[in-house]
Each structure stands twice: as C-alpha cells, then as structure tokens.
Homo-oligomer: A and B are copies of this chain.
C-alpha cells in the first residue's frame, strides 16, 4: 500500500534541488516532530550519500537501486521500501519519474 498523503505536517516551502534538478524534494515535519521529505527523481543515474539512516518509500513510478558495498541492482515500485545505513551511499537509476518519501532516522 502506498502512502498518498502526509497529514498534519509542516512543509518547508523552499525546495531542495539536487543534481541540477534531477532530484527535487520538500522537507516535511510531522506533528510529533518526525522529519521526512517528499521528492521525485527524474530519469537519470545518480549516487546519493546518507548522513542519518534513511528509508526510501516509493509512492509512484519506480527505480532501481544498488546499495554501497553490493553489486546487485534491485527494483523499487509503489509501496516498496528500502533502507540505507548512516554515512553510506546508494546508486539509483530511473527511467520514469520515481516519487518517494524519505523517512529519516
């Protein structure tokens, strides 16, 4: 099941623009203080670095991803999640816009 909305949230109006706009996200803080972001990755192949651990939840579209230290590309579709450890990285390749929620911590 995909998460179609985040409720009772504070939305930061200025977007985060990464990789010349290949990734655009908006930060969201829930009523309990939990921080997330909602974003989209446009067709491209990119490498993202993590500070805090992250869980990437696909809400529309799809991607393939490969975690640091692994050699296997895996697919993520709506409703799927994958986890990235702190201070790590992952490669992502996208052929149709990949819409996601990033859950931190």
Contacts and interface: CB of A to CB of B under 8 A. Distances in A.
Contacts of A22: 21
Contacts of A3: 13
A97 B59 contact: no
A9 B12 contact: no
Work out how many copies of this chain go into the complex. 2
Main secondary structure of the interface of A (DSSP, over half): strand
A8 B38 CA distance: 16
A97 B23 CA distance: 13
Contacts of A70: none
Interface residues of A, number: 30
A49 to B, nearest CB: 21
A86 interface: no
A8 B20 CA distance: 30
